[in-house]
Structure 1
Amino acid sequence: MRPVDTASIAWPLDDDAAEVYTGGEASGDSGELTGWCEQGQLEKQDGHRSTPCSAWAKIIFVVGVTTVLGWRQGGSGFMYPPKRPEGVQLPPDQWYTQSLNHFNPSDTRTWQQRYFTNDSFYEPGGPVFLMIGGEGPADPVWMVEGSWVTYAQSLKAYMLFLEHRYYGKSHPTEDVSVENLAYLSTEQALADLAAFIVDMQESLGFEDNKWIVFGGSYSGSLAAWFRMKYPHLAHGAVATSAPIVAQVNFKEYLEVVRDSLATVSEDCNTQIKEAHRELDMLLLHQIGWRTITTEFRLCTPLDARIADDVSNMFSLLAENIEDVVQYNKDNRAFEGVKGTNITIDTICGIMMNEDEEPIDRYADVNSMILDVYGKPCLEHTYHAMIEELQATSWENNESVGGRAWMYQTCTEYGFYQSSDSENQPFGDKFPIEFFIKQCEDIYGPKFNLSLLEAGVKRTNTIFGGRDLKVTRVVFPNGSIDPWHALGITSDISNDATAIYINGTAHCANEYPDSPDDPSQLTAAREEVYQLITQWLNEE
């Protein structure tokens, strides 16, 4: 096996990626880059990285950085914001006084919830569009970009965006201790929306206007559930890429990843599977551990005797590919923002390059992802992941979002993307038990499988799973997106329709259009628009 030569990766990358490749100097024959680091110098030992820079961003679904820490494994499909347009004034933060606990009348505590508005298209009597915040910060760029903005402009709508409790700047409690996370639940979030709408109707004079709620991924589920639970407040809902079914072991996720890779070539899956076979062989001896440490640019040496570290590493390496598949060719960061040029074609182009052994190609994928996001190494240790997610102060902004979402998965949803299916190429090193252990280690021993199974059953009992009883809701899903396996992909009724968009990924219809969009995506956006128009003509 040779050292990974990141300079040999010639696939088209964005400008930021190119800066990573040219921003340092090569050392020796390895082609490794040195001379730059976000937070300190990178030391060398025997021609290889040994001491990584100090802590760097470890978040996927909260800040839009590729996965390098295992808590993303809790499973999120966060709807990334589109690129911030130049020269466009974004709306300022506004604050709504929200109840802490909607289900205890004697608890009168309140907190400040962030929201945004855009009235530039509104004409009196027009509809009100409300974007529902999900498991990350609410970004005001959504007030000026995205398909819903196009709809608002055409339909003369007033636009609002309410951030989800416990994410971004919306801090209901003094910290995110286990005791305070008790106020983080789907039902509290839906009640937040209801209270907000009622007060906005009164303060803005919108009692007679028709409200349409929008959401993507988790917030897409919230949109559908809000329409079901509060039909008098929402006239209709657009529930994009919404995982409607709670499920402890979401092993189907990797099966869809396999199917999506196969759209390029089944050989892509074959080579990934072979890379895992070679990795398994290297785990059998300490020389192999050192080889893995070097090839896959681990921040600290691999000790294969620590099973949780091995599981975490395998899961993170799989996530390099999972995330590319999930957001394949989405316009979430159009015009060259980091990572958007890395597609399924890119990944399979690397994995099917016969100039190298499969394990070297798999390492090349890892190096490409690290370099595109400016990361010197992969933090694979389980202890580091757990320690990050045990932080309870709001000052730890990067880890807090992950702690909040992990709590929701440990108590309500599961969604754990395990390796338990035999019908996927990523091996068997991160079974469901690995994820349940995370819940126990982060929040305490009572957050075990029994508690999670009860929570998942409760979620599906309250909201109905795929037996959802709703009207005037549309469920767009992409065939490439692994989350469609938990969504609505066929019509519930004539008034609750599914749009299954072949060849598209997560929340694709929510992003701004592009000249490169496939015709079926353009048609899906138009179908959503026509449905909203139809709803607004109904009483």
Structure 2
Amino acid sequence: MAAALLLVLALGLAASNALTHRRLPSAPGVLLEGQERWFTQRLDHYNGADTRAWQQRYFMNDSFTQSGGPVFLMIGGEGAANPAWMTQGTWITYAEKMGALCLLLEHRFYGKSHPTEDMSVENLRYLSSQQALADLAHFQTVMTEKLGLGDRKWIVFGGSYPGCLAAWYRKKYPHLVHAAVASSAPVVAALNFSAYLDVVQISLSRNHTNCSEMIKIAFDTLIELLDYQENYGKISKDFYLCQFLVIRSKMDMSFLLETIAEYIMDVVQYNNDNRGFEGVKDGNITIDVVCDIMANESFGSPYDRYVEVVQSIRQAREEQCIEASYKQFLHDMRDIHWEGSASSGGRQWMYQTCTAFGYFQSSDSIYQPFSGFPLSYHVQQCADIYGKAFDLPLINSAIQQTNEDYGGINVQSSRIIFTNGLIDPWHALGINRDLSSDLLAFPMADAAHCADMYPARPEEPAELPETRRRIFEQLKLWLQL
């Protein structure tokens, strides 16, 4: 689904598209009977005369709870809240050691948390980070009384977009939340996030000098093939496209090119992570695997090697074919029904990028191997899906408002930890150095998106265990344990 934020780990939890519109969260884990819980939430927190309410899904694990222990709140993101996180992940390790009660609140408009009867543009106006933060505040206030939590201290966790929410919740509601851990949080809203692909180029080239160069040659060859309609059959077959390739406009062309590029972008963002417990299927395709194929002349030309890379990823994901039709994309994204094919997060998340964040991963930079999907293509998607009013001036104004509201990297708060894997392109919009004695940055040179949140394993980058230890010790200090 095209374009903007690989932000989707988002834990949703997992993980934005975290954050292109196609980088949607992983499939939910197996739900245990009785595990789902429901909270009566306000529809509009900013209109006291509006008494409408809806049922928001949440999960709870009280198996570690000790008297006086903290409350851990995991913030859901741009996808269904995954109950697998209630028993796995670094925060659970912390909870066991600290005697914490664990709660996970699903983000409004995602998963089963449906505040409105459909996802019309009129209804999507209730989808915003501001409303989501107010959801957290109301949830915390009511649950504190309902569960008799008294003056227990609350710690919030989030990764990717929910990482932003974690930091912003601490900033906006300091009387409610004691501390926050914001993993891979792109706290700066940006219209043209061309730097995303710059980092992709750097990450590909770290240990493979010619890898990015070979990908550029391959991609340029693909563009040359697209100059002649007689090559469309070959391209359709090479990349296992779900429909025979049809190019009627620049948008059709850009959508195909971005679709093919995203296979590499995804590998870089999630390089060598440990998302398997969420149900993610990637066959452990890493940067090393991609670059080894691109260096292997036995596969043929650089174009042929790129085809081999994409097919390896497609097969690892168990995808039957690759959907690269912009017409089909628009059909799916315009569906306002909760049963629609883009209702798992695509329509909702793109709305948030068009009305708050931008995060458009264009190919406008000359310092990376891809081309053909400029900023204008991403902006046009907003208008094509939600209407002509969603134009460049509106998007620019919305992004400015987001940065004015939250401060971007100029965070004025306390007791927040920001972690970022420097292989992850999203770190370019995050906080990578300490801002004060209790606004701390833990950069990780060899780690990818939200890597510190996942369960530990022997194959992970060497700095992850130390980062988890530092987070734990810092939380203990802040909690005075």
**Range into which the TM-score falls when normalised by the shorter chain:** over 0.9
Given that 1:80 and 1:332 are in contact with CA atoms closer than 8 Å, whether structure 2 keeps it comes out as: no
Segment of structure 1 superposing worse, 129-138 or 201-210: 201-210
Question: After superposition, what is the alpha-carbon deviation per residue over 1:441-467, rounded to whole angstroms, capped at 9, x for unaligned?
Answer: 100000111111000000000000000
1:412-431 residue pairs with structure 2 within 5 A?
412-427=356-371, 429-431=372-374
1:301 Cα shift?
Answer: 2.7
Separation (CA, whole Å) in 1 of partners of 2:23 and 2:138: 24
Question: After superposition, what is the alpha-carbon deviation per residue over 1:316-347, rounded to whole angstroms, capped at 9, x for unaligned?
Answer: 11100110111111111159962141000111
- 1:75 aligns with 20
Q: 1:225 to 1:323 in 2, by over 3 A?
A: same
Q: Which amino acid aligns with 2:257?
A: F
Given that 1:82 and 1:334 are in contact with CA atoms closer than 8 Å, whether structure 2 keeps it comes out as: no
1:59-458 residue pairs with structure 2 within 5 A?
75=20, 92-333=35-276, 338-355=281-298, 356-396=300-340, 398-427=342-371, 429-458=372-401
Given that 1:333 and 1:340 are in contact with CA atoms closer than 8 Å, whether structure 2 keeps it comes out as: no
Query: What fraction of aligned residue pairs are identical, expressed as a percent?
Result: 49
- 1:5 aligns with none
Q: 1:340 to 1:511 in 2, by over 3 A?
A: farther
Q: Which runs of 5+ in 1 are unaligned?
A: 1-55, 65-70
Q: 1:405 to 1:323 in 2, by over 3 A?
A: same
1:362 Cα shift?
Answer: 1.0
Separation (CA, whole Å) in 1 of partners of 2:139 and 2:392: 35
Q: Which amino acid aligns with 1:135?
A: E
- 2:12 aligns with none
Segment of structure 1 superposing worse, 249-258 or 286-295: 286-295
SS at match of 1:152: helix
SS at match of 1:161: strand
Q: 1:122 to 1:342 in 2, by over 3 A?
A: same
Q: Which amino acid aligns with 1:373?
A: R
Separation (CA, whole Å) in 2 of partners of 1:425 and 1:212: 41
1:13-52 residue pairs with structure 2 within 5 A?
none
1:369 Cα shift?
Answer: 2.0
Matched pairs, number:
473
Question: After superposition, what is the alpha-carbon deviation per residue over 1:184-221, rounded to whole angstroms, capped at 9, x for unaligned?
Answer: 01100000000000001111111310000000000000
Question: After superposition, what is the alpha-carbon deviation per residue over 1:383-438, rounded to whole angstroms, capped at 9, x for unaligned?
Answer: 111110000111126435110000000000000111000000012x0001111111
Alpha-carbon RMSD across the aligned residues, in angstroms, is 2.5
Separation (CA, whole Å) in 1 of partners of 2:351 and 2:20: 12
Separation (CA, whole Å) in 1 of partners of 2:67 and 2:276: 33
Given that 2:35 and 2:59 are in contact with CA atoms closer than 8 Å, whether structure 1 keeps it comes out as: yes
Separation (CA, whole Å) in 1 of partners of 2:129 and 2:440: 23
Given that 2:60 and 2:103 are in contact with CA atoms closer than 8 Å, whether structure 1 keeps it comes out as: yes
Separation (CA, whole Å) in 1 of partners of 2:347 and 2:247: 27
Given that 2:197 and 2:425 are in contact with CA atoms closer than 8 Å, whether structure 1 keeps it comes out as: yes
1:499 Cα shift?
Answer: 0.2
Q: 1:335 to 1:246 in 2, by over 3 A?
A: closer
Separation (CA, whole Å) in 2 of partners of 1:154 and 1:123: 10
Given that 1:91 and 1:118 are in contact with CA atoms closer than 8 Å, whether structure 2 keeps it comes out as: no
Separation (CA, whole Å) in 2 of partners of 1:374 and 1:79: 16
Q: Which runs of 5+ in 2 are unaligned?
A: 10-15
Separation (CA, whole Å) in 2 of partners of 1:220 and 1:105: 28
SS at match of 1:499: strand
Q: TM-score, normalised by structure 2?
A: 0.93
Separation (CA, whole Å) in 1 of partners of 2:467 and 2:24: 18
Q: 1:164 to 1:335 in 2, by over 3 A?
A: closer
Given that 2:8 and 2:161 are in contact with CA atoms closer than 8 Å, whether structure 1 keeps it comes out as: no
Q: 1:526 to 1:508 in 2, by over 3 A?
A: same
Q: 1:345 to 1:267 in 2, by over 3 A?
A: same
SS at match of 1:323: helix
Q: 1:217 to 1:91 in 2, by over 3 A?
A: farther
SS at match of 1:393: coil
Separation (CA, whole Å) in 2 of partners of 1:124 and 1:304: 64
- 1:514 aligns with 457
1:157 Cα shift?
Answer: 0.4
Q: TM-score, normalised by structure 1?
A: 0.84
Separation (CA, whole Å) in 1 of partners of 2:7 and 2:469: 29
Question: After superposition, what is the alpha-carbon deviation per residue over 1:68-123, rounded to whole angstroms, capped at 9, x for unaligned?
Answer: xxx959636979679959xx968611000000000000000000000011110001
Q: 1:334 to 1:349 in 2, by over 3 A?
A: farther
Q: 1:263 to 1:63 in 2, by over 3 A?
A: closer
Greater CA radius of gyration, 1 or 2? 1
Q: 1:175 to 1:112 in 2, by over 3 A?
A: same
Given that 1:62 and 1:398 are in contact with CA atoms closer than 8 Å, whether structure 2 keeps it comes out as: no
Given that 2:27 and 2:278 are in contact with CA atoms closer than 8 Å, whether structure 1 keeps it comes out as: no
Separation (CA, whole Å) in 2 of partners of 1:258 and 1:130: 35
